[in-house]
């Protein structure tokens, strides 16, 4: 199959959706949760996601004949995974703040918290 390159996915939308969003996105979300639960820094989460994006490019290459060393598609995968990871971290952190510091904070939406009274 010839590569039908688009600006976001390399071969087909479904391959991008399955590999980058479902598989690697799930791993990124869980990594963000783990970083929030252990109160780690954002830079450490970003480092792990850089590695995960490289592994995602390899999966695209090995399973779907994608380009292994494509900077453009690596950056696309990296941005998608960073967004998912930081959303996972923020959701978990909002729950932590509302639970552990319930005397001072309450949850305000899925991604935030605010001071109680």
Summarised one tens digit per residue, pLDDT across range 29-74 is 999 999 999 999 999 999 999 999 999 999 999 998 888 888 999 9
Q: How distant, in Å, are the alpha carbons of 74, 90, 98, 113, 114 from that of 104?
A: 42, 18, 8, 10, 8
Decide: 30 and 22 in contact? Cβ < 8 Å.
Answer: no
Tokens of 76: 């696309």
25 vs 86: CA distance, rounded Å: 11
pTM for the structure as a whole: 0.88
Instruction: For the beta carbon of residue 8, count every other beta carbon within 10 angstroms.
Output: 14
pLDDT of residue 85: 98
- Considering the chain, what is the average pLDDT of its residues? 90
Domains in the chain: boundaries = 13-115
Residue 3 has pLDDT above 70, yes or no: no
């Amino acid at each position: 199959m010839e590569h039908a390159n688009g600006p976001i996915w390399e071969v087909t939308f479904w391959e991008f959706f399955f590999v980058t969003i479902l598989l690697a996105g799930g791993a990124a979300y869980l990594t963000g949760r783990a970083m929030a639960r252990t109160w780690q820094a954002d830079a450490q989460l970003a480092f792990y996601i850089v590695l995960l994006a490289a592994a995602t490019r390899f999966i695209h290459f090995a399973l779907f004949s994608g380009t292994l060393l494509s900077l453009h598609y690596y950056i696309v995968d990296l941005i998608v995974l960073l967004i998912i990871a930081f959303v996972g971290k923020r959701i978990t952190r909002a729950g932590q703040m509302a639970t552990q510091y319930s005397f001072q904070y309450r949850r305000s939406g899925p991604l935030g918290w605010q001071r109680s009274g």
